[in-house]
Structure 1
Amino acid sequence: MSAAGTGTPARLEAHGWGWRYATRKRWAIRGASLTIEPGERVLLLGASGSGKSTLLQGLGGVLGGADEGEAEGSLLVDGVAADRTRGRVGMVLQDPDTQTILARVGDDVAFGCENLGVPRAEIWPRVDTALAAAGLDLPWDRPTAALSGGQKQRLALAGVLAMRPGAILLDEPTANLDPAGVAEVRTAVGAALDATGATLIVIEHRIEAWLGLVDRVVVLGATEEGTVVIADGDPRAVLENRAAELSAMGVWVPGVDVAARARALTASAEERAPAGRTVVESPAGGSVRPGEALLVAEGLVVARAKGIPVAGPVDLSLHAGEVLGITGPNGAGKSTLGLTLAGLLPGHAGRVRATAALHAEATGTDPFAWSSRALLTRIGTVLQSPEHQLLAKTVRDELCVGPRALRLPEDEIEARVDDLLRRLRLDALAAANPYTLSGGEKRRLTVAAALATRPRVLVLDEPTFGQDARTWTELVAIIAEVRDAGTAVIAISHDEDVLRALDARRLEVGA
């Protein structure tokens, strides 16, 4: 077997392989059989929850031992059990926060090389090369805690490239990147593959950027009997010949206008509202009139780390029944602005002011000064990384956290939770541990948890992350529905389709 860190391409195999998390009755993936030859470049597709990420984590050897789940069949890297290989596979996970290990950028990129025993004199040139290849123009001593989600995504890629593995596994590597970042990451991966010949598996729902790079498409599907390969072959042939079938199961197929379907489901409030609707009742008390200002920013400058401003000054008014789309390049301060408007970070300068229509009772006008219970029905937030706001042991209990904090009657809580589970395709996972869900399922869970308290303002950071074409459409339709009911929505997103479908007013940060 080739030595770790040489970049010699690896052979990857799955033989009747399955994995069931210790807390779940259902298998995340079962009976999967697949062989990927050295140097092949594979785009792995399938509906949300079909087991794609679990397969990659298994090949990357990061699923854990018998105490974390039950495995069957075998996964091999160069003929050796995947969990016994070291350095042959490099992986970028769905959530880059889970791969940020050390406090400084340079140290973080060097970490994998150090673990592989790469000579010290060789490590730092590799770090420089990897950072440049990933499009991350930052000094070695930049704190990793100060990076945006998109920058952390590139940091994780740089760490993998520096290791020079025989196989590169990428789980939605461009999900939180701006268009320029998508192109840079795709170019960086292509250059690394051209230089080393490494094997590639990439999972990506929005696939256009990868079609010119991959030479094979594999589509996984979940059946009663287990996981099956729905399609396998030349990318163009698979996507053209099986377009209708794949689109129906939720695969993003180039040329199929999923956004048009969403727009058909997201008619304006005037078109969808019942005749005579003028006021939206709020569970916090009081009422909200469509178009009424709820949240105002005046000269607002925001900072993630105290004393280091990243965006602003911003002046805006957020109104009931509208969607405000916050856009801009990675690192421009979009998420920080969202957290500040949501009352979760203090402003660096200027102020955020809630109008009387939002703060209702004597909660004051500054959302950052509100209690968590006061925020629940006023401003709900979905963070960029779903894991950062998971609290309960089961999916159902996660949705009950907010309503129970409001001391709602149990029958009302159950009704709300059952409705959200069904509409967001989480009902079959109600008893599952939230941490065992796929990235797309976690995103729908966090959106559902925010909706469970029916807030007047909803702040969503990358709300469509990890969604297949079907769940994307359904999620956009739900957001449109709460907008039409009078909720003000802030959507921080690089997904132009979702902003168009929701008829969002734009605020570009860092332009």
Structure 2
Amino acid sequence: ALAGALAMQPGLLLLDEPTANLDPAGVIEVRDAVARVVEATGATLIVVEHRADVWRDMIDREVRLGAAGTTTADFGGTRSAGPETSGSAAEMPYASAPLLEARGLTVARVRGRVVAGPIDLAVMPGEVLGITGANGSGKSTLGRTLAGLLPPAGGAVVASDELRGGAKADPIRWTSAQLLTRIGTVLQSPDHQLLAKTVRDEIEVGPRALQLSEGEIGRRTDDLLERLRLDHLAAAHPHTLSGGEKRRLTVGAMLATRPRVCVLDEPTFGQDPQTWREMVAIMSALAADGIAIVAITHDLGLLHALGAREFRMGVSG
């Protein structure tokens, strides 16, 4: 994408979150490539970012925007400190028995093409498990396999008696209704799981599939809209939202069915410092309630803030 933009020999290069969803090595590669281009061409560079730290040695001016496009800060010169992005680790009530286990698991995006494994991994109640690793290492594929959305290429994913509650042992054999209250999933791309015509309807999809009462559906939806700061967008079409708002909406839609295990792929993608902290608080509260959280992420600050256990693809598995 960068090469395509440069082929036009622009005098101004505008990059909108160019390092989103990249592993740390990829972030550095993109930054260094942009730096070489700017130095060689003298082009003006504008970078739209939630986290400006990686660009600070290159920029001459930083503008921070608030609500409705208002400017909250405008200063020149390189700076060493960025917006606050740290949280506080939660008290995690770890239990001795896992809710979900990978046993000698190999995973594949396409049948017959193994991308990772064998993997032995336990998902514990009240724990945040961070799955990290380079782009293409199989993180998302592992997450979808644990969540019962992809069949294991080898080995097995086994749910505890507590989690399956009478369903089959392997989540891939569960019905969609059985998955709703057991394992919730937020995909890496929010657009791949937006189904309804309004934000409110999107959060109501799961509860309606469970045939909850109108009163209970309303209570759950109102609570999540407020907690995720989406209440003012309740009547908006989901595809008109920003990337960060779509991410919060998919998290809300998942939480509406109150699953015991939450698998979140890049949960902090597109979040500004305030909504990042709010996402940390939500995940911390879920873990404190005994929910098991699997976070597939490049955001090591998120894992630090949550006191997560890290499983690095390509190292342990």
Query: Common fold, TM-score beyond 0.5?
Result: yes
- The answer to whether 1:370 aligns with 2:193 is no
Q: 2:37 aligns with which of 192, 202, 222?
A: 192
CA contact (8 A) 1:291 1:321 kept: no
- Residue segments in structure 2 that go unaligned for 5+ positions in a row: none
The equivalent residue for 1:355 is: 160
1:13-50 CA-to-partner distances (Å, cap 9, x unmatched) read xxxxxxxxxxxxxxxxxxxxxxxxxxxxxxxxxxxxxx
CA distance, structure 2, for counterparts of residue 158 and residue 365 of structure 1 = 48
CA distance, structure 2, for counterparts of residue 325 and residue 174 of structure 1 = 20
**Structure 1 residue 195: Cα displacement:** 2.5
Q: 2:104 aligns with which of 296, 299, 310?
A: 299
1:468-494 CA-to-partner distances (Å, cap 9, x unmatched) read 111111111111111111111100111
The equivalent residue for 2:20 is: 175
Instruction: Give the residue type in structure 2 aligned to 1:440.
Output: G
The equivalent residue for 1:130 is: none
**Structure 1 residue 409: Cα displacement:** 0.7
CA distance, structure 2, for counterparts of residue 175 and residue 419 of structure 1 = 29
Change (3 A) 1:485 1:167: same
- The answer to whether 1:258 aligns with 2:110 is no
Instruction: Give the residue type in structure 2 aligned to 1:397.
Output: D
- The answer to whether 1:210 aligns with 2:33 is no
Matches within 5 A, 1:33-182: 156-182=1-27
- The answer to whether 1:423 aligns with 2:227 is yes
**Structure 1 residue 257: Cα displacement:** 4.5
Instruction: Give the residue type in structure 1 aligned to 2:90.
Output: A
2:59 match: secondary structure: coil
The equivalent residue for 1:234 is: 76
Root mean square deviation of aligned Cα: 1.9
Q: Which has the higher contact order (CA 8 A, sep 6+)?
A: 2
Q: 1:268 aligns with which of 91, 104, 116?
A: 91
Change (3 A) 1:482 1:192: same
Q: 1:308 aligns with which of 110, 113, 117?
A: 113
CA contact (8 A) 1:294 1:318 kept: yes
Normalised to the residue count of structure 1, the TM-score between the two structures is 0.59
**Structure 1 residue 296: Cα displacement:** 1.0
Q: 1:390 aligns with which of 194, 197, 200?
A: 194
CA distance, structure 2, for counterparts of residue 370 and residue 162 of structure 1 = 50
Change (3 A) 1:200 1:457: same
1:412 match: secondary structure: helix
Instruction: Give the residue type in structure 2 aligned to 1:382.
Output: V
**Structure 1 residue 169: Cα displacement:** 2.0
- The answer to whether 1:474 aligns with 2:301 is no
**Structure 1 residue 442: Cα displacement:** 0.9
CA distance, structure 2, for counterparts of residue 455 and residue 332 of structure 1 = 27
2:294 match: secondary structure: strand
1:179-234 CA-to-partner distances (Å, cap 9, x unmatched) read 111110001111122233333221111111101112222233335xxx33343341
Change (3 A) 1:499 1:368: same
CA distance, structure 1, for counterparts of residue 279 and residue 122 of structure 2 = 25
Change (3 A) 1:503 1:220: closer
CA distance, structure 2, for counterparts of residue 471 and residue 221 of structure 1 = 12
**Structure 1 residue 166: Cα displacement:** 3.7
CA contact (8 A) 2:90 2:307 kept: no
CA contact (8 A) 1:269 1:484 kept: yes
CA contact (8 A) 1:459 1:489 kept: yes
Change (3 A) 1:229 1:473: closer
Normalised to the residue count of structure 2, the TM-score between the two structures is 0.94
1:418-448 CA-to-partner distances (Å, cap 9, x unmatched) read 1111111111111111111111111111111
CA contact (8 A) 1:291 1:322 kept: no
Q: Aligned residues, how many? A: 315
1:432-467 CA-to-partner distances (Å, cap 9, x unmatched) read 111111111111111111111000110011111111
CA distance, structure 2, for counterparts of residue 164 and residue 348 of structure 1 = 46
CA distance, structure 1, for counterparts of residue 36 and residue 111 of structure 2 = 38
Change (3 A) 1:443 1:212: same
The equivalent residue for 2:301 is: 497
